[in-house]
Amino acid sequence: MPSLSATLRQLRQARRLSQLELSLCLEVSQRHVSFVESGRTRPSRALLMTWLQELEAPLVVRNQALLEAGYAPVYSHLPLDDPALAQADAALQHLLNAHDPMPALVIDAGWNLLRLNRGGQWLAATLMPAIDLGDSLGNGASINLLDLLAHPEGFTKPIVNLQEVGPAMLSILRHEASMQPDLAPRVEAIAALLGDRLGSQNLNQRELSPSTPILTTRYATAHGELAFFSTFTTFGTPRDITLASLRVEHLFAADDATRALVNAQVR
């Protein structure tokens, strides 16, 4: 289990704050921040809560840091089917159903796939015909989207504009891994796959002048090329780790041909 000092130091570095900048936000001395990060002193419970809030730590990390400091955790971690989360669960299902026939899916902070709507099942079967994700979910199997992105025959294989999408996707995933280190091995597996396909120089190149206002992913499929862009929905004020970790990804058709094809195929 990591130490409190290591957790707080990693969170600060992920936010790209200096100890001085953080101390000003917390209204404590830089020396105190340094002492806490070196393990020489322990912050009070109230200061630690403010510290974690300032660093925008995920709720699961906040609980972990409280335990590392010897304090009781604050946030519940209920299963999604718990009666206390019934309203939130119904809201998630409403979002999925309302987005049909366009694909939508529910994932957690670890990129575990929890649910798909009909459009999402169709798209997954189209892009990865060897894997029935809908059936796997129904049987309670664990499916991780990062694993599917890193697989040689996975979701990245049919992407036509991988040179454009790959570096942007990897940058986002590495930022998430900086806040949640457990993601790092899977993210670096994706980086290795992209490096093989794009070359390390192209993978690490930063795009200075985007050609479109929103990143569109284009897939080569048996039906022809499909183009989508995404939006994400999260709970606005979650007080439970499960709810805080969830997000609904909504895929929208980026052109008329994709929209017509999805409408015709998803019944």
The residues, ordered by sequence, that sit 6+ positions from 2 with a Cβ below 8 Å of its Cβ are 64, 68
For residue 126, the model assigns a pLDDT of: 94
Higher pLDDT, 204 or 8: 8
What distance in Å separates the CA atoms of residue 226 and residue 264, rounded to the nearest whole number? 13
User: What tens digit of pLDDT does each residue of 156-205 get?
Assistant: 999 999 999 999 999 999 989 988 888 999 999 999 999 999 987 777 66
For residue 180, the model assigns a pLDDT of: 85
For residue 27, the model assigns a pLDDT of: 95
CATH assignment of 4-68? 1.10.260.40
- Beta strand 224-233 with 113-116: parallel, antiparallel or unpaired? unpaired
pLDDT (average), residues 101-130: 94
pLDDT (average), residues 224-244: 94
DSSP the chain: ---HHHHHHHHHHHTT--HHHHHHHHTS-HHHHHHHHTTSS---HHHHHHHHHHTT--HHHHHHHHHHTT----SB---TTSGGGHHHHHHHHHHHHHHTTS-EEEE-TT-BEEEE-HHHHHHHHHH-TT--HHHHHHTT---BHHHHHHSTTSTTTTBTTHHHHHHHHHHHHHHHHHH-GGGHHHHHHHHHHHHHHH-HHHHTPPPSS-SSSS--EEEEETTEEEEEEEEEE--SS--BHHHHH-EEEEEEESSHHHHHHHHHH--
What residues form DSSP beta bridges with 226? 219
For residue 267, the model assigns a pLDDT of: 81
pLDDT at 211 over 70: no
Question: 134: pLDDT confidence band, cut at 50, 70 and 90?
Answer: low
Backbone φ/ψ region at 71: left (φ over 0), alpha (ψ -120 to 50), beta: beta
Q: What class does CATH assign to 83-265?
A: alpha beta
**Phi, psi values for residue 177, rounded to 5°:** -65, -25
pLDDT, mean over the chain: 91
- Beta strand 113-116 with 217-221: parallel, antiparallel or unpaired? unpaired
User: What tens digit of pLDDT does each residue of 26-37 get?
Assistant: 999 999 999 999
pLDDT at 209 over 60: no
For residue 129, the model assigns a pLDDT of: 84
Q: Are 2 and 9 in contact (CB under 8 A)?
A: no
pLDDT at 212 over 90: no
For residue 223, the model assigns a pLDDT of: 93
The amino acid at 118: R
For residue 206, the model assigns a pLDDT of: 55
3-state secondary structure 79-106: CCCCHHHHHHHHHHHHHHHHHCCCCEEE
pLDDT at 220 over 60: yes
Please state the domain extents for the chain. 4-68, 83-265
pLDDT at 208 over 50: no
C-alpha separations of 17 from 9, 21, 27 in Å: 10, 6, 15
